Structure 1
Amino acid sequence: MTDTLTDTSTAQPLDLDAVHALHAAFGSDPARVRAQNAVTRTGLDEVALNHARVVELSTSISHRIDDWTVANQKKSGRCWLFAALNLLRVGVKENLGVKEFELSQNYAMYYDKLERANYFLLDAVATAGEPVDSRLVSFLLTTVLGDGGQWDMAVSVLTKYGVVPKQAMPETESSGNTDRMNSQLRALLRAGALRLRALVADGASDDEITQVRAALMRDVHAVLTIHLGTPPTSFDWQWTDDAKVFHRDGVLTPQEFFARYVSIDLTQYVCLVDDPRREHPKGAALTVAHLGNVVEGQPVLYVNAPVQTMKELAARSIVAGEPVWFGCDVSPQMQRSDGLWAADLFDYSGVYGVDLHTTKEQRVVSADSAMTHAMLLVGVDLPEGVDGPTRRWRVENSWGDDKADKGFYTMDDSWFDEYVFEVVVRKDALPAELRPALTAEPLVLPAWDPMGALA
């Protein structure tokens, strides 16, 4: 068969004369020459930054609930777990009578990794009948055991294993810098997947396959525990509150600590998504094949909702005193040092003289945008009162306190429209038109769908 890339009847190579003409046209365009002079000596974002927009974007917020310091995920992709634990710690701090407190992110990640390894090995067996280079198997092998996750995956881990104070399982070098640990675990699991596939192909019994899978899990456990430490099954809990009163609660398991000090029921929340693709109607229930971590845990479920509804429900939650877990495509139109997001913060089209504008739907279908980061909404500006339109948002990030307002960022409402994909709200807050999706059979999207992107 003729390769279309080398078929002389269809190939259209670049003509040297045409390339030289492009150079000449560029050199005769004063605006592009000025842009070249600027960008070759200065970073693109500094040239493209819309100064007037920066000045206009106030960081003042009418309804703000944060009075604590931010956490730091360091060189890891644990933002979704940080955001979930930051949500839980609001109630825990109130129950303990302290302003500053962190739950162990290392503990939660340890069990997510352990459960996710088991989930992957079971998938390897279940898909053993497919070619190893099929799109599904290739996707599963490529994405195995990353740091990212979704809201329902956090719920599955936290409700099964509970939580512990940070001092009960502190950070390690590898929890804050996961690359080397992950590369070893991926190599182990990929080789294990090939071994399991070979057993299935050779007609091995279920018992033989189970024994090999159990041996692989012992190896995963060893690697994880060497890197992250041994998670506590119980710990002695005592503390002094901000009024200088000492408390002793004795020896607790992580599940007992969760039941005693976490003040919200995670199972009563739902993840709303703004899937802008027209083939997925608003009000529909969505899920993603092969997406999860805990076998028989809470399945990943989305309700596709209008972005305006997502804003209204998030604002009401903040006004009521509760932060909102949300997922977004974090990098576009972000000024990191000042901690600002706005849809028109950078004028890249103006710098290049090229129209780069696209819609949210176009970015999703062309793989140009998907959820990449999760954080908490902790403030909202409502210039016309609690039922008025939203103007901007205050965001608790997990990148440390050396940027923005000590780690808290400001999001213009226009950025929410374009780059926010998910918010988590209470199920009982849903408007009537979205409630049927809670019990409807969800549309199952393929494993590689953009809505399966992990924060």
Structure 2
Amino acid sequence: MIELTKEINKEILADFRQNLNQDVTNNALKNSVAQVGIYAATENPEAKTILNPSFNITVDTGKVSNQKHSGRCWLFAALNTLRTEFATKNNLKDFELSQNYLSFWDRLEKSNYFYQEIIETANLPIEDRKVNSLLTSPNGDGGLWQNAANLIQKYGVVPNYVMPETTVSNNTTEFDDTIGRLLRKNAIELRKLVQDKVTESKLDQRVQEMLAEVYKLCVYSFGVPPTDFELSLQTDDGKLIAEDKITPLEFLKRYFTMNLNDYADVVNSPQSNKKYHQVYSIDTEDNMVGGFQQRFLNLPMERLQELAIEQLKGNNPIWFGNDVLADSDRKKGYLLGDLYQYDQVFGIDSAMTKAQRLDYFEGEVSHAMTITGVNLIKGQPNRWKVENSWGEENGVKGYFVMDQKWFDEYVYDLVINKKYLTKEEVAEYEQEPVVLPAWDALA
């Protein structure tokens, strides 16, 4: 083992101070950064000009939604793609589906998935990395496209008025703490039952009892999900869409033609440990026992760009996973590849490639949004229109503008209708995936 011996001493500190004082601009920069902050001091002054919010290809969408203090962006983005079709067909520009309804089922399904994974790994040591990953986040409110598709196909959808948001669904911190504590406590018991070799029927019975507690917690927090409801919607031209009684699955099947099985998740990960034209999945990233397995087809970034443009030309919005924490201004709605010019201001070199950011956990899929437009110049994109789920007070009434460099650097996956893929790409997507560990950068 190498012994660490090099410490910061007085001589080194004196050298730091001397180097800093040699440049007279450092004092002015120090004052500026200290007073206004790093982001304000380094923001690209040309951002407003570059991110002009006009586009020559757009999907007609309505008022943005608001996930508030929750991590349900993936679910909001999925329902935004689904509602666009319904709103356009039925002349309901600002129609919104209930995110809370599917959030309820997501938490219950994730609990069951967690319990089954704990049973499967019960004989592994507690310090095993997979076990550690399960216990670190037993039931968060994050997710991916296929998580949403699984929920929609199993439970259907309802309009927002049928199961509106609650205080808890709008701010999930307390629920996360409560259910996390319960699931971890139950994991202790389940691991012991498996290690004690109890019968499968006894184990199943105990899991069912545990799920009954989770169900009760979800009802108290989110409300009771309807088994059926009265459908009553006034269209923008005064017509009434009405049924006295309809189930969530009947509503989905009668009023929505979008087939979620027609869509594939394509990603761009240029890391050396991932091949292009290879399909991957991530261990423990599913949210439902019996649901369709997560899978991602890794393609070059240029191909993702082509597919995005084709889908927008077909008047279909695009669910996409991205790193919204990088080079963005939430209030202004800016997504600019060099929005913050840290290196020029501070005289440092912090630039990394996309692959390096993923390898060294600087990059991550931190958010999901919906692409609803693009501006093309001689067939090439220079900016994209993005529907976010952070309410109308951010961006231009909730819509963000993304430049091409941000698209290349911080967009990681797109959900694309398979009709836009080549036959070879569809065949690649349908192969048995290579399973990545739960701690992979794409998780």
TM bucket (normalised to shorter chain) is over 0.9
Q: Distance in 2 between matches of 1:66 and 1:319?
A: 12
DSSP 3-state at the match of 1:157: helix
Q: 2:400 aligns with which of 402, 405, 409?
A: 409
Q: Deviations over 1:259-281 (max 9, x none)?
A: 01122000110000001112311
Structure 1 gaps, min length 5: none
Matches within 5 A, 1:47-62: 47-62=41-56
CA separation in 1, counterparts of 2:390 and 2:318? 18
Of residues 393, 411, 420, the one that matches 1:420 is 411
Is residue 435 of structure 1 aligned with residue 426 of structure 2? yes
User: Is 1:82–1:105's contact at 8 Å kept on the other side of the alignment?
Assistant: yes
Partner of 2:204: 210
- For 1:432 and 1:238, how far apart are their aligned partners in 2? 42
Aligned partner of 2:82 among 84, 88, 99: 88
Alignment correspondent of 1:78: 72
Hey, what's the Cα distance between the residues in 1 that align with 2:117 and 2:296? Answer: 22
State the TM-score, normalizing by the size of structure 1.
0.95
CA distance in 1, matches of 2:319, 2:246: 28
Moved more, 323-332 or 276-285: 276-285
Offset at residue 28 of structure 1 (A): 2.4
The one-letter code of the counterpart of 2:17 is: H
Unaligned runs of 5+ in 2: none
The answer to whether the Cα contact below 8 Å between 2:318 and 2:414 also exists between their aligned partners in 1 is yes
Kindly provide the CA deviation profile for residues 330-354 of structure 1, in whole angstroms up to 9, marking residues without a partner as x.
Answer: 0111122221111112101112111
2:115 is equivalent to residue 121 of structure 1 = yes
The aligned runs of 1:84-163 (5 Å cut-off) are 84-163=78-157
**Of the candidates 6, 14, 34, which is equivalent to residue 28 of structure 2?**
34
Q: Deviations over 1:68-91 (max 9, x none)?
A: 110000000000000000110011
Alpha-carbon distance, 1:105 to partner = 0.3
Matched, 1:344 2:335: no
Aligned to 1:322: 316
Q: C-alpha separation between the residues in 2 aligned to 1:163 and 1:414?
A: 36
Equivalent of 1:444 in 429, 435, 442: 435
State the match for 1:356 in structure 2.
Answer: 350
TM, length-normalised to structure 2: 0.97
**Residue from 237, 240, 243 that aligns with 1:249:** 243
Letter in 2 for 1:404: G
Structure 1 residue 306 displacement after superposition: 1.0
Aligned-residue offset at 1:22:
1.0
Greater shift, 329-338 or 163-172, is seen at 329-338
Report the Cα distance in structure 2 between the residues aligned to 1:17 and 1:332, rounded to whole angstroms. Answer: 37
Report if aligned partners of 1:305, 1:434 keep a CA contact under 8 Å in 2.
Answer: no
Residue pairs, 1:364-379, within 5 angstroms: 364-379=358-373
State how far apart, in whole Å, the 2-side matches of 1:427 and 1:67 are.
23
Distance in 2 separating the partners of 1:268 and 1:432: 13
1:403, distance to aligned residue in structure 2 (A): 1.6
Partner of 2:213: 219
Contact 2:71 2:142 in 1 (8 A): yes
Structure 2: how far apart are the matches of 1:162 and 1:321?
A: 24
User: CA-atom RMSD, angstroms?
Assistant: 1.3
Q: 1:32 touches 1:351 (CA, 8 Å); kept in 2?
A: no
Q: Aligned residues: percent identity? A: 35
State the distance in 1 between where 2:398 and 2:419 align. Answer: 31
SS in 2 for 1:175: helix
